[in-house]
Chains A and B, each alone.
Chain A
Amino acid sequence: MKRMESPYKWGMVIDLDRCTGCGACVVACQAENNIALVDKQRFAEGRNMHWLRIERYWEGEFPNVRARFLPMLCQHCDDAPCEPVCPVYASYHNPEGLNGQVYNRCVGTRYCANNCPYAVRVFNFLNPDWPQPLPDQLNPDVTVRSRGVMEKCTFCIQRIRRAKEDAKLEQRAIRDGEVQPACAQTCPPGAIAFGNLADSESLVARLARSPRRLRLFEDLGTDPSVIYLKGGGHEHAG
């Protein structure tokens, strides 16, 4: 079979020095992707559905404590541990470097979630239920998932798709910055950048060359497409 090739290799750069841990990205992601609401009790049971979460770690002993924030989402690994373990190809790799998840195909073995070192895959333990009037604001571009299937961050694939259609009409490639996932669009301090890593002049490609570059659990060989820029710079400065 011929290997499918693409001029795009989607990637994200998250500057940890800019992240304030405000959580706007989490809310934006929730609204954009029709993510199910989970009440307090279910949240405590470990049934929350966040595709993107802000991990908060404390450093030091009281009173000299400092909070560190780490926005965690699907890393869209090039060598993704979740993909080979799926018995039905519900988790697959697309030519643009995205980890796709086919909801219709998923049988719910939850094997992918076990094998994901970043623990970013979420499972629909129940059918989603939105109180009125929230069902009226569901995003028509995104499927509402039923119970029993896995889901996770898609890099807002519906927006990538729309930009590709626009670009095709105008017979051009997608411009840098033309596609923004909901989290990047919302981030008040602009900590999240998204774009095409295959284009060496794009914003993400330039940021990714920073000496502060860091990828999570790089020793596992997963080759993630999300690149973090190490935080802590301001401490050295002042």
Chain B
Amino acid sequence: MPADRIKAIAASNEAMLSSTRPANWRWYLLAFLLGIVVATGLYAFAHQMLTGMAVTGINRPVMWGLYIINFVFWVGLSHSGTMVSAILRLSHANWRRPILRGAEAMTVFSITVGGLFPLIHLGRNWTFYYMIPYPNQYGLWPNFRSALLWDMMAITTYIIGSSLFLFLGLLPDLAVARDRATGWKKMPLAILALGWRGTAQQWKTYARASTLMACLVIPVAVSVHSIVSWDFAVTLVPGWHSTIFPPYFVIGAITSGVAAVITLMIVIRKAFRLEAFLRPIHFDNMAKLLLTVCLIWSYFYFAEVFTTWYGHKPIEWEVFSFLHSHYALPLFVMLLGNTLVPIPFLMWKRVRRSIPALLVISLLVNVAMFTERFLIIVPSLSHKNVPFLWGTYDPTWVELSITAAAFAGFGLLYMLFAKFFPIVAITDVREETEALRGESQRGRTRLATLVNEE
């Protein structure tokens, strides 16, 4: 290999590792502020645990509130990694490369945050292990017929699967980071890199394992959100008991996931000066993906409301009319963010390539998706079958603090991750650059590649 090529590769590696440079005061300030929000949330949780669920806004009949809304939202957000990374990997979309690490990391952290909410929401959090099938002297087992148990298994599987997926993709980059690390960072990186040396054999196994993991993680992701939807769909609650829920939830999850990846790309690009790697083509393609899922989501929403309206079953229609009258503003926000704004605007190439416009749209989509989860959960419980016990729900400061802490905690985890690990998939991006040259080098083997950037 000529010397100038090696130099160029070293320089691009250096640029992509920019996030792992020693932290400046701004990083510490942000980490401190996020830490305060997390601490407030922990205080609120301790207060709830010591006093009782009366400190929340949960009541009879609305027994599930902001915690479950958060749970569905964060699990939905976690679909970004699998969608962007696995599906695009399998479809050989080269433009995914600079994005995939950020998306995969987001999956792991949002599912971790999301997985905490069912536990926060328990009346007796300290007995959460009753739900785990463990041998005990009473011969008691959890109830495998309960959707909550399916949920717990699905979430656990997804946390393990997506962590492995992230780790696998990270492996060659860990080796790059290891080779450049100095001081105390060298040892842990060397252990994590599992002795990666970049031999032809290692690359071959790696390519096979990545494809296999991508194939395996997609069905897990689809099943996870189907199961989350069954928490609602398998019940008798009017407005929840609907066969469209699993695909509707999966597409909703992908919508919020894709939007969150776009937001994150913008933040990462700005924070770590990665303009050279996250180019307009990447935003354009992600925006097209967002447009597609927004269209599907809107179609599903229409199908759901249309059949309920046409059937006009009294109790189901009661839930819908209560929603339309009492929650008109959130309903408008949801339709605005998921349908009225993204669909017409993302059809324009100029919007898709404009970073400020995409930032607004992608944030709006996630505000709308959070609202959507609220509108699914609260109105149905407020107006169930017995009119004598109709009610409403307003979250208290405890639930709001814990929600804020979830966002801050997610940000904090992400910041720490970016500080210690390469946030851009170095080897994948290099592969793309090589691909554009018409051939790619893996270890000592040279492979011809397809040029398919646009």
Which residues of A approach B to under 8 Å, CB–CB? 42, 45-48, 53, 55-57, 70, 72, 81, 84-89, 105-111, 113-115, 117-119, 122-127, 147-150, 217, 220, 222
Across the interface, do B128 and A86 meet the contact criterion of CB distance under 8 Å?
A: no
Partner of B127, one of A85, A107, A117: A107
- Report 16 cross-chain contacts, Cβ distance below 8 Å, ordered by A residue: A46-B62, A55-B386, A72-B388, A81-B235, A89-B141, A105-B130, A107-B127, A108-B123, A109-B123, A113-B60, A113-B63, A119-B384, A119-B389, A124-B52, A125-B54, A126-B52
Dominant secondary structure of chain B at its interface with chain A: loop
CB nearest neighbor in A for B55: A125
Check A114–B123 contact: CB distance below 8 A. no
B123 in contact with A148 (CB, 8 Å): yes
A87 near B142 with CB under 8 A, answer yes
Contacts of B234 in A (CB 8 A): 85
- Do the beta carbons of B148 and A108 come within 8 Å of each other? no
B35 sits at the interface (CB 8 A): no
Q: In the complex where A85-B235, A107-B124 touch, is A122 in contact with B60 (Cβ < 8 A)?
A: yes
Q: Decide: A124 and B123 in contact? CB cutoff 8 A.
A: yes
Closest-CB distance, A218 to chain B (whole angstroms): 12
Q: Which residues of A contact B199 (CB under 8 A)?
A: none
Q: Is the CB of B122 within 8 A of A42?
A: no
Q: Which residues of B contact A220 (CB under 8 A)?
A: 236, 385
CB–CB A126/B54 < 8 A: yes
Asked if residues A217 and B385 are in contact (CB atoms below 8 Å), the reply is: yes
Closest B residue to A108 by beta carbon equals B123
- B52, A85: Cβ atoms closer than 8 Å: no
With A108-B122, A147-B52 known as contacts, the answer to whether A87 contacts B131 (CB < 8 A) is yes
Given contacts A87-B131, A107-B122, A115-B236, 10 further A-B contacts (CB under 8 A): A42-B54, A72-B388, A81-B235, A87-B146, A89-B140, A111-B147, A111-B231, A123-B53, A125-B54, A147-B52
Q: A108-B122, A114-B237 are in contact. Are A123 and B63 (CB under 8 A)?
A: yes
In residues 169-225 of chain B, which contact A (Cβ within 8 Å)?
none
What is the number of residues of chain B that contact chain A, defined by CB distance less than 8 Å? 43
CB–CB A88/B235 < 8 A: no
- Residues in B whose Cβ lies below 8 Å from that of A84: 143, 145-146
Contact of B148 among A85, A106, A113, A124 (CB under 8 A): A85
Chain A residues with Cβ below 8 Å from B127 are 107
CA distance A93 to B232 in the complex (A): 22
For A57, A118, A148, which residue has the most chain B Cβ atoms within 10 angstroms?
A148
Are B60 and A107 in contact (CB-based, < 8 A)? no
Measured between C-beta atoms, what is the minimum distance from B86 to chain A in Å? 30
- A117–B386 touching, CB < 8 Å: yes
Q: Cβ of A111 and Cβ of B52 under 8 Å apart?
A: no
B40 at the interface (CB under 8 A from A): no
Q: Give 1 or 0 for each of B113-146: 1 = CB within 8 Å of chain A CB.
A: 0000010011110011011000000001111011
| A80 → chain B closest CB, angstroms | 11
- Checking A55, A88, A119 against B131 with a beta-carbon cut-off of 8 angstroms, the contacting residue is A88
With A47-B59, A111-B148, A149-B124 known as contacts, the answer to whether A88 contacts B143 (CB < 8 A) is yes
Separation of A180 and B407 alpha carbons in the complex (Å): 54
Q: Are B147 and A47 in contact (CB under 8 A)?
A: no
Q: Which residues of A contact B411 (CB under 8 A)?
A: none
Give the CA-CA distance A114 to B231 in the complex, in Å. 11
Q: Which residues of B contact A149 (CB under 8 A)?
A: 123-124
A125 with B385, Cβ < 8 A, contacts A107-B128, A110-B123 known: no
Cβ–Cβ contact A46 & B391, under 8 A: yes
A147–B122 Cα distance when bound, in Å, is 11
On chain B, the residues within 8 Å of A47 by CB distance are 54, 59-60
Question: What is the CA–CA distance of A222 and B124 in the complex, to the nearest angstrom?
Answer: 28
Nearest A residue to B237 via CB reads A114
**Closest residue of A by beta carbon distance from B119:** A107
Instruction: Indicate if the CB atoms of B381 and A114 lie closer than 8 Å.
Output: yes
CB distance from A168 to the nearest CB of B (A): 26
A46 and B53 contact, Cβ closer than 8 Å, known pairs A55-B388, A87-B146, A114-B235: no
Chain B residues contacting A57 (CB-CB under 8 Å) are 387-388
Min distance, Cβ B233 to any Cβ of chain A, angstroms: 12
Instruction: Give chain B interface residues in 359-384, CB to chain A under 8 Å.
Output: 381, 384
Contact of A108 among B124, B149, B237, B385 (CB under 8 A): B124
Select which of B60, B121, B142 is within 8 A of A119 by beta carbon.
B60
CB distance from A191 to the nearest CB of B (A): 18
Q: Which B215-258 residues sit within 8 Å CB-CB of chain A?
A: 231, 234-237
Most buried by B among A72, A111, A114: A114
Contact indicator A118/B53 (Cβ below 8 Å):
no
A46 touches B381 (CB 8 A): no
Q: How far is the CA of A109 from the CA of B120 in the complex (A)?
A: 10
A46: which of B59, B147, B237 is its contact (CB, 8 Å)? B59
Q: Confirm or deny: B61 has a beta carbon within 8 angstroms of a beta carbon on chain A.
A: yes
List of A residues within 8 angstroms of B149 by Cβ: 87
Bound CA span A46–B53, Å: 12
Q: Which residue of B lies closest to A50 (CB)?
A: B60
Assess whether A127 is in contact with B236, with CB atoms less than 8 Å apart. Answer: no
Question: Closest residue of chain B to A127, judged by CB?
Answer: B52
- B445: A residues at CB distance < 8 A: none
Q: Is B152 engaged at the interface, CB distance under 8 Å to the other chain?
A: yes
- Which residues of A have CB within 8 Å of B91? none
- In the complex, A16 Cα to B131 Cα: how many Å? 42
Whether B64 sits at the interface, judged by CB under 8 Å, is yes
Q: Give bound CA distance, A86 to B140, whole Å.
A: 14
Q: Which residues of the partner chain B approach A110 to less than 8 Å between Cβ atoms?
A: 58, 63-64, 123
Residues of A within 8 A of B51 (CB): 126
Q: Chain A residue with minimal CB distance to B143?
A: A89
B54 touches A48 (CB 8 A): no
A149–B64 alpha-carbon span in the complex (Å): 14
